[in-house]
Amino acid sequence: MFIDYVEIEVMAGDGGPGCVAFHTEKFVPKGGPEGGDGGRGGDIVAVADRHLRTLLDYRYRRKYKATKGQGGGGSLKTGKSGEDTILRLPVGTLIKDLETGQLLTDLDEVGSRTVIVRGGKGGHGNAYYKSPTNQTPRTAQNGQPGEIKRIALELKLLADVGLVGLPNAGKSTMLSSFSAARPKIADYPFTTLQPHLGIVKLREFKSCVMADIPGLIEGASQGKGLGHKFLRHIQRTRLLVYVVDVNEQDIQATISTLQNELKSFDENLVKHPSIVAITKIDTIDENDLKAVSKELPPDYIYLSAVSRMGAKDFLQRIEYSLDQQ
Ligand SMILES: Nc1nc2c(ncn2[C@@H]2O[C@H](COP(=O)(O)OP(=O)(O)OP(=O)(O)O)[C@@H](O)[C@H]2O)c(=O)[nH]1
Ligand SMILES: [Mg+2]
């Protein structure tokens, strides 16, 4: 469940063909063979990039190709090599060969680099075949084809953003509205019994992992409701979102309740960067919303996970907070 998984095809570049050419110069009859070798095809190289967190971008593009080597030229010129194609992947990505099941690499450190498929060698030009018995070879070799593999990218996800709220606050609805995850949603408390993760696209090439966890109630630390052990799933998140239903009688008191429960699990949790998201704003009319927002700090975000009102603001705030760290 907590694994991001994508299958793609990677094709290294073919080697360029060797060249058949002979030396030509005024007054030099019968110049020798001078066809150069073809260039190597480009490799496909996987690199661990610390700025990436998910494999989301690889879901949209499934084929990656490196460029071909160029053909050799006259005057013993070797063809230009093809360019490598770099696959930037999050740290912690495992790459497996789908045909053999073999683990090709584990990008376990920032900067880890592995060649996944090698470009083909360039073919020899005719100069290569010159020998005492064959002074004028007229053949050259084709380049070798680049390797092709179907590979699986597999990443164990760690959540960046944790949703914390009372039961029924709308956490699961939020996750399903912003990601492809489909946690159960229902109009009764304690619908969510275990954490769900989803990948939220913030903008192109930028995404984060959001965790939806069970609802928290006053006294959870004493075992009320579902207890609070599930909070360990958000202990390593970089940002907490307090999710509060706009219809809640006392929004500030609700946030304090949530914070007290977090504190009794782990003091450090309340020191995490956080955002307050007041949700379900589609359920009250504009004037009531104005009245509510007047009484609350100006940096709270108002949104509806159903109508997606305020969604853009919310995602921007998440992006900004994650960027600050
Ligand atoms: N109108 C409206 N209804 C919402 C919104 N968000 C959630 N709901 C409704 O509120 C109820 C509870 O939503 P959930 O997403 O299951 O709440 P939760 O916080 O995950 O609840 P637990 O898993 O029990 O902790 C459901 O009936 C949702 O349809 C919203 O933005 N607008
Ligand atoms: Mg839920």
Any ligand 1 atom below 6 A from CB of 167: yes
- Kindly state the average pLDDT of the residues 86-109: 91
Same domain, 150 and 195: no
Total residues belonging to the chain: 325
| Structure tokens belonging to residue 124 | 């020899």
Q: What is the pTM of this model?
A: 0.71
The full DSSP string for 118-142 is: PPPPPPPPGGGG-BTTBSS----PP
Confidence of residue 314 (pLDDT cuts 50, 70, 90): very high
* Contact indicator for 77, 36 with CB cutoff of 8 Å: yes
Same domain, 85 and 179: no
Same domain, 216 and 285: yes
Any ligand 1 atom below 6 A from CB of 169: yes
pLDDT in tens, 256-277: 999 999 999 999 999 989 999 9
Any ligand 1 atom below 6 A from CB of 304: yes
Which of 121-130, 215-224, 238-247, 286-295 is predicted least confidently?
Answer: 215-224
- Kindly state the average pLDDT of the residues 39-50: 94
Given 156, 183, 212, which residue is the final one in a domain? 156
Which residue range forms the structural domain that includes residue 103? 3-156
Any ligand 1 atom below 6 A from CB of 225: no
pLDDT in tens, 180-195: 888 899 898 888 888 8
Element (H, E) at 209: strand 206-212
* Contact indicator for 163, 171 with CB cutoff of 8 Å: yes
Same domain, 280 and 200: yes
> Which residue's alpha carbon is at the smallest distance from atom 11 of ligand 1?
187
Residue 316 has a pLDDT of 96
Closest ligand 1 atom, residue 305 Cα: 31
Instruction: Point out the ligand nearest to the CA of residue 307.
Output: 1
Any ligand 1 atom below 6 A from CB of 279: yes
Residue 260 has a pLDDT of 94
Residue 1 has a pLDDT of 41
- Kindly state the average pLDDT of the residues 283-296: 93
Any ligand 1 atom below 6 A from CB of 187: yes
Same domain, 136 and 214: no
Same domain, 70 and 207: no
pLDDT in tens, 121-173: 999 999 999 888 888 898 999 999 999 999 999 887 778 999 999 999 999 99
Same domain, 185 and 143: no
121: domain CATH number is 2.70.210.12
- Kindly state the average pLDDT of the residues 241-246: 97
Same domain, 220 and 97: no
Closest ligand 1 atom, residue 214 Cα: 25
215 pLDDT more than 60? yes
Distance 243 CA to ligand 2 centre (A): 11
Residues of the chain with pLDDT > 90, as a percent, come to 63
* Contact indicator for 238, 161 with CB cutoff of 8 Å: yes
Same domain, 269 and 140: no
Closest ligand 1 atom, residue 167 Cα: 25
> Which residue's alpha carbon is at the smallest distance from atom 6 of ligand 1?
170
Average pLDDT, the chain: 91
Residue 3 has a pLDDT of 62
Confidence of residue 239 (pLDDT cuts 50, 70, 90): very high
Number of domains the chain contains: 2
Same domain, 129 and 68: yes
Given 110, 137, 156, which residue is the final one in a domain? 156
Report the C-alpha gap between 211 and 192 in whole angstroms. Answer: 12
Residue 135 has a pLDDT of 86
From residue 208, how far is each of 161, 232, 253, 265, 290 by CA, in Å?
7, 19, 29, 25, 31
200: domain CATH number is 3.40.50.300
Distance 89 CA to ligand 2 centre (A): 31
Given 94, 125, 156, which residue is the final one in a domain? 156
Confidence of residue 2 (pLDDT cuts 50, 70, 90): low
Write 130-137 long-range contacts (CB < 8 A, 24+): 130/32, 130/33, 135/32, 135/33, 136/22, 136/30, 136/32, 136/33, 137/33
User: In terms of pLDDT, which residue wins out, 27 or 297?
Assistant: 297
In DSSP terms, 285 is beta-bridged to: none
